[in-house]
Chains A and B, each alone.
Chain A
Amino acid sequence: MTIIDTPATFARRHLLTCEGLKAGEITALLDLADKAADQNRQVHKKRDVLVGRTLINLFFEASTRTQSSFELAGKRLGADVMNMNVATSSVSKGETLIDTAVTLNAMRPDILVVRHHAAGAVELLAQKVDCHVINAGDGAHQHPTQALLDALTIRRAKGRIAGLTVAICGDVLHSRVARSNINVLNTMGARVRIIGPSTLLPSNADRLGAEVFTDMSKGLEDCDIVMMLRLQRERMSGSFVPSTREYYHFFGLDHEKLARAKPDALIMHPGPMNRGVEIASTIADHARSVIRDQVEMGVAVRMAVLEALARQLRND
């Protein structure tokens, strides 16, 4: 069996953003991913959905888990996977993004997975190539596969997404993970809250469909899911937050704050974690922490996305 028979209705050329994704599209991807997750737990993990196809990981920004996750997903589906190391490529010699795209396009890849530090860069690149493009993170804009893997993790743990209250906590301002999650969770019928100091909240965040809190204890009240975000080190020394000590005190997830959430609330984090900054070490390793499940679901969701795109690959 080469293609799992599913009622997939995801029929887009690219996966660039979660904004505008329909519930049916998301459900289709999650259903596919569920099967991929089961497959990944077998001894024999490989299928030949993408045999003969080329997948290029084009990462302009350092990444460990996302890049290896896509690499593994591509390989498990039989694709030839190439990782472009931008640090040693022509990009570092001054080539423009569009020239890079045109050059890569000439090598006739089938799927490009792109991460870039500038919001909108992946979409710009997608306009210049013939292959399918997956956004693996563009600036503070979107990180669609992260939101999908989070949704999958929640759905598997809670059996549903609709009706749950999800708190996204921390540096929402700079977070593509938060933006993608707000889109997906809203579409799937969850209630989304965002929590952080005003200096780390984007303007008009409420207009995205999230309830905004600057007091974490209040924001966590009766939540089903507590999703922590990473706070980058350069933002902890006075320009956005005075210190890691103060941040941990008011916005770090510790047992006292977690007690405000529902007793069965799940703890999530997209990684990499700063233990003792945004999350207490014992919380990260808590029985209700699904942080490692998120990583596992990451591979499954990326396989699902690759598979959905593969169905549209031309065979001429």
Chain B
Amino acid sequence: MRKPISTAMPSTDTTVFINARLVDPGSGFDQPGGLLVKDNVIADLGEHLRRNAPAGATVVDCRNNVLCPGLIDARVFTGEPGQEHRETLKTASHAAAAGGVTTIVVMPDTTPVIDQVALVDFIQRRARDNAIVNVHVMAAMTRDLKGEDMTEIGLLKRAGAIAFTNGKSSVANSRTMRQVLNYAKDFGALIVHHTEDPWLTGTGVMNSGEVSTRLGLPGVHKLAEAMMVERDVRLVEMTGGSYHAASITCAESLAVISAAKAKGLPVSCGVSINHLTLNENDIGPYRTFLKVRPPLRTEADREAMVAGLVAGEIDLIVSSHDPQDVDVKRQPFAEAGDGAIGLETLLAAALRLYHGEHIGLAPLLRAMTANPAKLLGLPGGRLEKGAPADLIVVDLGQPWVVDKAQLRSRSKNSPFDESKMQGRVLRTLVAGETVYEYGQVQR
């Protein structure tokens, strides 16, 4: 029996976005135009599609708002598996979609720790079935995140882990760090490290300085971070392994990274949105929602981070989204848990730097699109023919006030609660499918 010859179906899932301000952060392209999505990818884009919709396509009028690649957030903590009351992959993905984040990279700090092939597979299957954005796994680089024995980096990478990290903790043992970098190099695996010397950090709960002195809280010196970055860079020099400092917070750390880059070492760094837009004064009267790791620093340090971003020395902006339940946060400051959610406010908070005229739109977005895509080897993050149709439509000017009751994350520990924002995601598409639309009830 012969099968009937299939004829090309008239494409029903072709969508054209007209009247858009197309922004491709990687190339710096920023022009009015239109964009055609077909078969989950960007099929065409440019001025010629600004007002002309191909026949049969669904038309979305962007009303001159920005159409750019969806954000890639390279540092997201969830509670799945083990602490689903804080956050699941599903709830995190809904928060991400509402915030314009189309790809999240989840950290291995779960229960159990993601340090085995079967657990990478577990996350991938749970994400496939429940998440509405792309989810990638950053696996543990040491077993149980203990900082001692390395994990099966080769097999984990083969299973789909896109990088390796010790999550929220630093590997104090220089020898372990050396071996991990050395071993990971053979597999082309990137090591992403949280950089705080645990011995110098000790019991510190906020930045060491005038504010900690006034509040009577044990401080953490910023050089505890710079020293760890410095050690790591020396180990990179020794081994040739690829290294990314997950979240730096001060000029001293940045100087070490910049010097390493100038030497041609395979080194990069990220900064969290919190350290770009908040400082230790925001802690005010012991606001535990502003207790994060590494701690918020001084205004001068924040300015140094912005300058580093502008100069292109800081490669990534991450949310460091870390959901914590109320019980953990409603404690005396020193006893409260660390972490702040940030997926839903990442873009709006970052736009503060744009509206404040500290940085252009494309360079700002680059640190959340093209740069993480390149660093982690992901296909998205760019506005090009053939790229996945992971897209967002953003009204840069729309004002709004963060209301934690409206946030989609299962935990509400936002440091931006009640903050005024300017810039709102109107629509989020993942692989061509709309997963969020402003004002619409979520599926």
Contact = CB atoms under 8 A, between A and B. Distances in A.
A29 to B, nearest CB: 37
A240 B154 contact: no
Given A215-B186, A242-B153, 8 more contacts: A197-B183, A197-B186, A198-B185, A199-B182, A238-B143, A238-B149, A246-B153, A249-B154
Interface of A: 197-199, 214-215, 237-243, 245-246, 249-250
B239 interface: yes
A197 B154 CA distance: 11
A198 B149 contact: no
Contacts of B176: 239
Contacts of A241: 183
B183 A198 contact: yes
Given A198-B186, A199-B182, A242 B239 contact: no
B155 interface: yes
Contacts of A199: 179, 182-183
Interface string B8-50: 0000000000000000000000000000000000000000000
Given A238-B150, A240-B179, A198 B239 contact: yes
A243 B239 contact: no
B433 interface: no
A237 B149 contact: yes
Contact of B151 (A242, A249, A250): A242
Contacts of A214: 185-186
16 contacts: A197-B186, A214-B185, A214-B186, A239-B149, A239-B150, A239-B176, A241-B183, A242-B150, A242-B153, A242-B154, A245-B152, A246-B152, A246-B153, A246-B155, A249-B155, A250-B154
Contacts of B183: 197-199, 241-242
B223 to A, nearest CB: 30
A239 B176 CA distance: 7
A246 B149 contact: no
Contacts of A197: 183, 186
6 A-B pairs closest in CB distance: A238-B149, A214-B186, A246-B152, A242-B152, A198-B182, A199-B183
B148 interface: yes
A215 B148 CA distance: 25
A250 B158 CA distance: 11
Contacts of B155: 245-246, 249
A241 to B, nearest CB: 8
A254 to B, nearest CB: 15
Interface string B115-152: 00000000000000000000000000011000011111
A240 B185 CA distance: 13
Contact of B149 (A215, A242, A250): A242
A242 B176 CA distance: 12
B196 to A, nearest CB: 23
B132 to A, nearest CB: 34
B154 A246 contact: yes
Contacts of B239: 198
Contact of A243 (B148, B152, B179): B152
Contacts of B142: 238
A239 B154 CA distance: 15
Interface in B225-277: 239
Interface in B139-190: 142-143, 148-155, 176, 179, 182-183, 185-186
A49 B154 CA distance: 54
A239 B186 CA distance: 16
A56 to B, nearest CB: 39
A45 B239 CA distance: 53
A249 B148 CA distance: 22
B201 to A, nearest CB: 24
Interface string B315-351: 0000000000000000000000000000000000000
Nearest to A242: B152
A70 to B, nearest CB: 36
A277 to B, nearest CB: 14
A198 B179 CA distance: 9
B247 to A, nearest CB: 26
Contacts of B154: 242, 246, 249-250
A75 B143 CA distance: 51
A215 B187 CA distance: 9
A183 to B, nearest CB: 25
A238 B148 contact: yes
A237 B152 CA distance: 10
A239 B152 contact: no
A238 B153 CA distance: 11
A241 B152 CA distance: 8
